[in-house]
């Protein structure tokens, strides 16, 4: 059985005899420099996490969005002010509604080529939702999804974005890959 008190005393005695402790005691400026360096590294990591997820390398919002033509199953770009559902060259859906819906194009790779991107999910406004938008700049996933219908590209059924089914589609789109990375939105260029 391990005598914890004896082990603790041995560790304390060993630490007190080490040259590192003597070096620290003799050079308090070394500790201050190490603390400043640690804070600097921490700030650089936080800055990289904040800015590093931006695919364009700038903090500017793109002037374009991805649209998906439900008739042709093709992706295309449009101005960010485009009203969704949008008119497409392929014409309207059989029910008369415009065929262009917003697509969330994602990738695990910064600056991906076409084969490295994938469509996470599709979105269009929910015609039955009220138009009240939350005031907060930082929204939870369910707050962001309120008033939107979403679907997986392979599904035929649109579901409310803030429903359990809708939130499951969003979670699935942003799931971690085998390398532990989350995908990020690819802005159209």
Which domain covers residue 43, as residue numbers?
4-52
pTM confidence score: 0.63
Does position 59 have pLDDT exceeding 50, yes or no? no
Report the distance separating Cα 9 and Cα 17, nearest Å. Answer: 12
Phi-psi region of 180 (alpha: psi -120 to 50; beta: other; left: phi over 0): left
pLDDT, residue 151, reads: 93
Query: Does any domain span residue 27?
Result: yes
47, 81: one domain = no
44, 133: one domain = no
Task: Please give the tally of structural domains in the chain.
Answer: 2
69, 138: one domain = yes
Report the distance separating Cα 159 and Cα 149, nearest Å. Answer: 5
172, 136: one domain = yes
Query: Does any domain span residue 155?
Result: yes
Average pLDDT, the chain: 83
102, 73: one domain = yes
Token pair of 176, please? 């971690």
Report the distance separating Cα 52 and Cα 62, nearest Å. Answer: 16
Query: Span 95-109, mean pLDDT?
Result: 93
């Amino acid at each position: 059985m391990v005598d914890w008190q004896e082990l603790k005393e041995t560790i304390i005695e060993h630490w007190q005899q080490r040259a590192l402790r003597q070096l620290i005691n003799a050079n308090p400026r070394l500790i201050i420099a190490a603390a400043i360096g640690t804070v600097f590294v921490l700030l650089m990591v936080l800055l990289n996490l904040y800015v590093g997820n931006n695919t364009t390398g700038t903090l500017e919002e793109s002037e374009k969005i991805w649209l998906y033509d439900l008739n042709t199953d093709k992706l295309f770009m449009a101005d960010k002010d485009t009203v969704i559902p949008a008119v497409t060259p392929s014409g309207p859906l059989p029910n008369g509604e415009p065929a262009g819906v917003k697509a969330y194009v994602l990738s695990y790779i910064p600056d991906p080529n076409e084969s490295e991107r994938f469509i996470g999910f599709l979105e269009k406004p929910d015609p039955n939702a009220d138009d009240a938008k939350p005031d907060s700049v930082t929204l939870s996933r369910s707050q962001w999804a309120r008033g939107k219908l979403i679907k997986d590209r392979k599904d035929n059924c649109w579901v409310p974005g803030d429903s359990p089914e809708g939130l499951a589609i969003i979670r699935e789109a942003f799931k971690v890959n085998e390398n532990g990375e989350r995908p990020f939105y690819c802005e159209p260029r």
